[in-house]
Amino acid sequence: MLPRSTLAIVGKSQATRDVQQLVNEALGATHDILAADNVEHLRSLLGGDPLALVTVTVHEDGLAPDHPLLELISEPGFEYTRVMVLTTTPEIAGLDALTDMGRLDMLVFTPAIKAEALLHNIQQQLNRYWYMRGKHDPSIAGTFALPEVTELDVGLTDQEIISRIIKAADMHLGYQPRLTFPPGVYLTKEGHYVEEVIFALSGQVLLQRFTDAGDIVMHHASTGHVIGLLALASNRVGFFTARTTTEVVAVQLPTEQVDYLIRQEPELARLFNILFVRSYDRRLRRAEDIQIEQHELTAQLEDERARLTAALRNLEAARRELMSQARFASLGELAAGVAHELNNPMAAIERTAAHLAEDVEGLIASSPNRRWRDATSHALEAARSSHAVSTKEARALRRELTEVTGDRALAQRWVLAGLHDAEFAKQVRANRKLEYETVEHAASIGTALRNLSTASTRITQLVASLRAYARPDGDPVTDVDLHQSIEDTLQLIAHKLRGVEVKRDFAELPHVTCTPGQIAQVWTNLISNAAEAIEESGKGSTITIRTCAPKPGWVRVEVIDDGPGIPLERIDKLFEPRFTTKNGEVRFGMGIGLSICRGIVSAHHGTIELTSSTNGTCATVGLPIDGPHTHDEGDTP
């Protein structure tokens, strides 16, 4: 017996009124039947009472997406309300929203209503309403009848159904022998004709398919206890190969005997149908599980493939990195040889330049003419010690010398020779025994000596810098001057710094223990990267190198550029092997990757970090003063 329930019949059509009358006459004594013109009218009639069932009448267009009924059943208190749709047409659309909500509980074609069936279905819908409410409200559980079970739900297990079938077979066909099969017996074979149905009373049977890749197990736990039943619906041709995996006790019935039993006891047809549906359901669920597993495995394989692809890229980058390091090692050996070969000739050139200067001075000093001797000696020394002048200064000097000498071309040559003193030119003009050309030749000799000394000094400095690179992996050296290390680097990469102003903001630093060649590689990379960023972007013009001692026992070097900066999402990736922001191009040269820089700095127990904005980038290197004292201690990772 159901508790008293509230039912609402919504609508004004004649079909709706017919249903109202039918339901009211049949159920009005035991339930509250509400007749409402529309949903708003229904709200006013309810007054807060729970609604067990509501009907709504629709035509071929169904319910509009904004129909008030959809809003009503979405509200709290109406989550269990059953919805019955009455349609006046045999074909209908527009119920998709109701279906998506899972609330289309019953559909009735009003011109073909069967009163008895309609009332029975309404009773069942009320049963479901109270059953769903009872599941969430134990206080009303047991006050109503449970919903009817389906014809395929008999409340028996597969083994109980098989026992009933075997009992019927023993009664109508005589006792059926129980067969015992050891593991490994083929009960049916794929593609072969199936003439018997085998009922497994105990044991396990697997179902497999033969493929070019080998035998594939399709079902084991999902096989069930009846073998050959599905073949009865597929022209008796076996779809699977059935093989025992444990000892199996079974009863075998030819298909003709199965037909005979069904004729004797028609109720057995229902039991066979239940076994058939259950078997199909288990295998279908297993097939769905396999499909999900296949999808998951495919996704895992895609992830593995992506990881393998990334690993391959990393390996290729590592290979290029090793090639770069090998080239760099070759460059170091070459630098060592070049430095050794250049060292002695350059020492000879420097000595020769010094002797030549002394000889020229001695030659001038041997002249008996004191004025000539003083003038040429002054011109020689003035040219040797002269410095470069700006274009504006050179123009002013030319005007002054032209006024003295009266020769614009001569004035130009004097300026180029390093003679910038107009008073000296007046003294030469006043000396009748001294010509401008003689002073010019003396100045040219001085300029040549100055250029020779400058060039030899420059080459000597480059050789010294190359020596620092020659053995980057040598043992650490104490008492290393980082400022000199930076200056050596600037000497080596001067060709990359054309058009870039390098500012030095050096504090007083203690000398450190490090591997000079490795640390020089770090400066080379950081300064080269800054210069390339400025050159390639066209933004910025200055690199500032700042040093300080932020705390006892530590020094800090900052390389700051005013270039375009690096996007934040790329900062962390810059320390990956061979990551580059240069359009994917991997460049080999004096610089090395930032990953190697970090390895070198880490091996020296230091730190390296990058910060960047649209105003430029700052690379900060921190090093302990007391670094690694052996090569093994400072091995780069």
Task: Give the DSSP H or E segment for 250.
Answer: strand 248-254
Q: Torsion angle of alpha carbons 405, 411, 415, 419, nearest 10°? A: -20
pLDDT band at 234 (very low <50, low <70, confident <90, very high): low
Asked whether residue 128 falls in the same domain as residue 169, the answer is: no
What pLDDT was estimated at residue 587?
A: 37
Q: Where are the alpha helices (DSSP H) in 502-583?
A: 516-537, 568-571
Residue 437 lies in a domain: no
Q: Amino acid identity of 28? A: G
DSSP 204-216: -EEEEEEETTEEE
Asked whether residue 256 falls in the same domain as residue 130, the answer is: no
Asked whether residue 70 falls in the same domain as residue 181, the answer is: no
Residue 164 lies in a domain: yes
Q: Which domain holds residue 70?
A: 5-140
* Per-residue pLDDT tens digits for 88-127: 999 999 999 999 999 999 999 999 999 999 999 999 999 8
The mean-pLDDT minimum among 162-176, 209-223, 329-343, 435-449 falls in: 329-343
Residue 388 lies in a domain: no
Asked whether residue 619 falls in the same domain as residue 483, the answer is: yes
DSSP 393-448: HHHHHHHHHHHHHS-HHHHHHHHHHT---HHHHHHHHH-TT--HHHHHHHHHHHHH
Q: 360-381 b/e with 16+ CB inside 10 Å = b? A: beeebeeeeeeebeebbbbbbb
- Beta bridge partner(s), residue 8: 34, 54
pLDDT band at 553 (very low <50, low <70, confident <90, very high): very high
Pairwise pLDDT comparison (332 vs 513), residue with the higher score: 513
Angle among Cα 594, 597, 601 to the nearest 5 degrees reads 140
Q: Say what angle helices 158-173 and 267-365 make with each other, to 10 degrees.
A: 140
Asked whether residue 63 falls in the same domain as residue 14, the answer is: yes
What pLDDT was estimated at residue 461?
A: 67
Asked whether residue 136 falls in the same domain as residue 162, the answer is: no
**Burial (CB count <10 Å: 0-12, 13-18, 19+), residue 43:** middle
Q: What is the pTM of this model?
A: 0.47
* Three-state secondary structure call for residue 224: coil
Report the C-alpha gap between 491 and 493 in whole angstroms: 6
Pairwise pLDDT comparison (56 vs 47), residue with the higher score: 56
pLDDT band at 464 (very low <50, low <70, confident <90, very high): low
Whose CA is closest to 502, among 452, 568, 546, 447?
A: 546
* Residue range 147-162: mean pLDDT, rounded: 75
The β-bridge relationship of strands 512-514 and 477-480 is: antiparallel
Last residue of a domain, one of 264, 286, 305: 264
- Which residues have CB under 8 Å from 50's CB, separation 6+? 6, 77, 81
Contact 65, 97 (CB under 8 A): yes
Report the C-alpha gap between 601 and 523 in whole angstroms: 11
The mean-pLDDT minimum among 386-390, 493-497, 580-584 falls in: 580-584
Asked whether residue 92 falls in the same domain as residue 217, the answer is: no
Residue 312 lies in a domain: no
What pLDDT was estimated at residue 632?
A: 54
Q: 454-482 b/e with 16+ CB inside 10 Å = b? A: eebeebbebbebbbbbbbbeeebbeebeb
What pLDDT was estimated at residue 152?
A: 63
Residue 230, Ramachandran bin (φ over 0: left; ψ between -120 and 50: alpha; else beta)? alpha
* Per-residue pLDDT tens digits for 482-511: 998 898 888 778 888 888 999 999 999 999
Pairwise pLDDT comparison (436 vs 563), residue with the higher score: 563
* Three-state secondary structure call for residue 143: coil
The CATH number linked to 69 is 3.40.50.2300
Pairwise pLDDT comparison (153 vs 273), residue with the higher score: 273
Mean pLDDT of the chain: 84
* Length of the chain, in residues: 637
pLDDT band at 299 (very low <50, low <70, confident <90, very high): very high
Contact 169, 257 (CB under 8 A): yes
Residue 325 lies in a domain: no
Last residue of a domain, one of 87, 106, 140: 140
CA dist 129 → 20, 72, 86 (Å): 20, 16, 19
Place of tokens 């010019």: 440
pLDDT band at 263 (very low <50, low <70, confident <90, very high): very high
CA 59 distance to own-chain centroid: 53
What pLDDT was estimated at residue 523?
A: 92
Asked whether residue 104 falls in the same domain as residue 169, the answer is: no
What pLDDT was estimated at residue 250?
A: 94
- DSSP conformation class of 233: G
The CB density around residue 249, as the number of other CB atoms within 10 Å, is: 13
pLDDT band at 215 (very low <50, low <70, confident <90, very high): confident
Report the C-alpha gap between 396 and 380 in whole angstroms: 22
Output phi, psi for 113, to 5 deg.
-70, 135
Residue 245 lies in a domain: yes
**Is the pLDDT reported for residue 15 higher than 60?**
yes
Asked whether residue 132 falls in the same domain as residue 211, the answer is: no
Asked whether residue 482 falls in the same domain as residue 609, the answer is: yes
Angle among Cα 287, 291, 294 to the nearest 5 degrees reads 135
Based on C-alpha coordinates, what's the Rg of the chain?
51
pLDDT band at 145 (very low <50, low <70, confident <90, very high): low
Asked whether residue 613 falls in the same domain as residue 569, the answer is: yes
**Is the pLDDT reported for residue 629 higher than 60?**
yes
Asked whether residue 131 falls in the same domain as residue 186, the answer is: no
**Is the pLDDT reported for residue 613 higher than 60?**
yes
- Looking at the structure of the chain, the number of domains it has is 3
CA dist 189 → 186, 288, 294, 400, 611 (Å): 7, 24, 26, 117, 71
**Is the pLDDT reported for residue 25 higher than 50?**
yes
Contact 144, 130 (CB under 8 A): yes
Last residue of a domain, one of 249, 264, 279: 264
Residue 352 lies in a domain: no
What pLDDT was estimated at residue 56?
A: 94
Residue 180 lies in a domain: yes
Report the C-alpha gap between 602 and 543 in whole angstroms: 24
Let me know how many helices (H) and strands (E) the chain has, helices first. 17, 20
What pLDDT was estimated at residue 456?
A: 79
The CATH number linked to 481 is 3.30.565.10
The CATH number linked to 224 is 2.60.120.10
The tokens for 355 are: 């002797």
